[in-house]
Amino acid sequence: FGGDVSEGGEEGELEEKQADSSSIYKLLGMQQVGAVLKSTFSDPSRRLELRFRPQDPFCHSVCGNRLPSTNLLLRVRRRVRKKDPKDAEIQMDIVGIIATTYKFQGMVDFQCLAVNSLNGEDTSLYDKIILRKAESPAFFEQDVPNFLPPAIFSRLDCPVDYFYRPDSQQKLPSAEKNLIGLARARRQNNAVFVSFNDPSVPTECLPAAKQNWARFCMKESDRRAEANIREMFERRPIWSRNALKANTNIHPEKLKLLLPLFAYYMVTGPWRCLWVRLGYDPRKNPDSKKYQMLDYRIRCHTVPNIPVKAKRSAHNYSLSITLNKAGSAQLQIKFFSCFTSPPQESSYIFRDGMLPPHRQMFYQLCDLEVDSIKDVIEQNSGNERACDERDGWCVVGTTDKLRDLISAMIRKVVREKKPGTCSHEGCHDVKISPHGYCHQNYHRFRFYPCFIFYELHF
């Protein structure tokens, strides 16, 4: 902080006077200069405050940030002769190194003052609104000017870089239709989704669904496909997607546009993952029991090494934008048993003596063509009272019974088709040795009366 400089004696030497302490007082706003400077410099994260009006409690300080620096502190002297002021001698000395600098880069605080002009002069209101001593109750009961400045006008005194991001809910349409990107925009099929707890079901499709199909329906085959889907939903109110694909020769993309015209999609309840005819509420009609959905999954402990693959591999995944190179063609020979049904029917129908094509299947109860299963489903026919969210119009616990029956049938089929496996009831994990008897490669074994002798292998 510079002080006042005046001319010296005969030689014109400037005499340094002691620096005025008002500048430091203005900087800190209090008398304890040394204590404040010490506490500020000791904490690297603390900012240095500058008050332009130290005695004004409504004045907010400007904060300086502490920054490292490599500056030099110079002492400059300029000697001037009285007779010839142009003849000056400048002398510079390096006093020290400045390693820390406080830079006031923030915005200076400003206030809007309520000014009362009396006789053309501005009058200060601080004496009327600031408590400088203990006042009597009459001081607090008197009328005061309307001067209520806020504590601070801005939370931040330095501008920050704000990185604007697009709103995820609002997407602008692409200007270029042929733009190649990482992922295409999702095509809306305009289907109506209904939950089990919804009070009502839709009776008409969305207008957008009609518009999409009107743009796509250009050929006679499209009109025949539309009539085919309409006839199927008139004949049967609830269909699964696999059943529709197996009973019609309609392309999947075309079927995706046709289904929202005639049906809505159930997302929860006993008819979840099924398409229900518009206006038809299966929760109010007990006859819809036969159209309920059964989510069946082959249990891991049913039979080891069962020849049924999962729908998706748990290991082989490829990105949608990567290039999958075609491998060399390999000859694959598949053997079909006389017990298996055609591939299209096996995707939604279950019969005794067949294996499901995948480890997880979605069957409708009407597509389970097994007498023992039908007996369990129809055990309360005519006496349905309420529709349950899990078992629908069936007796409570029917879903678990059906899964147990299907698991037992699959286990039986696997034993009959798998060579070297015992087909006796209860012999799940017992292999047949080349000698013609059952054995286990463990410390325990089971006895069956149909074998002559037994042998234990470790």
pLDDT by residue for the chain (458 residues), tens only, comes to: 333 323 333 333 333 334 445 555 555 555 556 677 778 888 888 888 887 777 777 777 888 889 999 999 999 998 888 888 778 888 999 999 999 998 888 877 666 665 566 676 777 777 777 777 888 888 788 777 666 666 556 677 777 777 777 776 666 665 555 556 556 566 677 899 999 999 999 999 999 999 989 888 888 989 999 999 999 999 999 999 999 998 988 888 899 999 999 999 999 999 999 999 999 999 999 999 999 999 998 877 656 666 666 666 544 444 444 444 444 445 444 444 444 344 467 888 998 888 888 888 999 999 999 999 999 999 988 888 899 999 999 999 999 999 999 999 988 888 887 655 554 444 444 443 333 334 443 333 343 333 333 333 33
> Do 454 and 383 share a structural domain?
no
Domain assignment present for 253? yes
> Do 254 and 152 share a structural domain?
no
Q: From 284, 285, 311, 283, select the one nearest 297 (Cα to Cα).
A: 311
Domain assignment present for 342? yes
Domain assignment present for 99? yes
> Do 252 and 124 share a structural domain?
no
Write down the pLDDT at residue 33.
Answer: 65
> Do 208 and 95 share a structural domain?
no
Domain assignment present for 297? yes
Could you give the dihedral angle defined by the CA atoms of residues 261, 262, 268 and 274, in that order, rounded to the nearest 10 degrees?
A: -110
Task: Decide if 275 contacts 229 (C-beta within 8 A).
Answer: no
246: left (phi over 0), alpha (psi -120 to 50) or beta: alpha
Q: At residue 229, what are phi and psi to the nearest 5 degrees?
A: -65, -40
Sheet with 48-50, edge to edge strand ranges? 48-50, 62-80, 88-103
Domain assignment present for 248? yes
Beta pairing, strands 350-351 & 368-369 = parallel
Domain's final residue, options 143, 161, 179: 161
> Do 431 and 364 share a structural domain?
no
Instruction: Classify burial at 14, counting beta carbons within 10 Å of its beta carbon; exposed 0-12, middle 13-18, buried 19 or more.
Output: middle
> Do 197 and 149 share a structural domain?
no
CA 27 – CA 385 distance, rounded (Å): 85
> Do 131 and 206 share a structural domain?
no
Place of tokens 């889907």: 229
Q: Domain tally for the chain?
A: 3
Domain assignment present for 321? no
Beta pairing, strands 238-239 & 350-351 = unpaired
190: left (phi over 0), alpha (psi -120 to 50) or beta: left
> Do 126 and 82 share a structural domain?
yes
> Do 445 and 300 share a structural domain?
no
Domain assignment present for 107? yes
Domain assignment present for 316? no
426: left (phi over 0), alpha (psi -120 to 50) or beta: left
Q: At residue 423, what are phi and psi to the nearest 5 degrees?
A: -100, 10
Domain's final residue, options 119, 145, 161: 161
Residue 61: strand pairing partners? none
Parent domain of 74: 1-161
> Do 430 and 419 share a structural domain?
no
Q: How many residues are present in the chain? A: 458
> Do 227 and 205 share a structural domain?
yes
> Do 155 and 104 share a structural domain?
yes
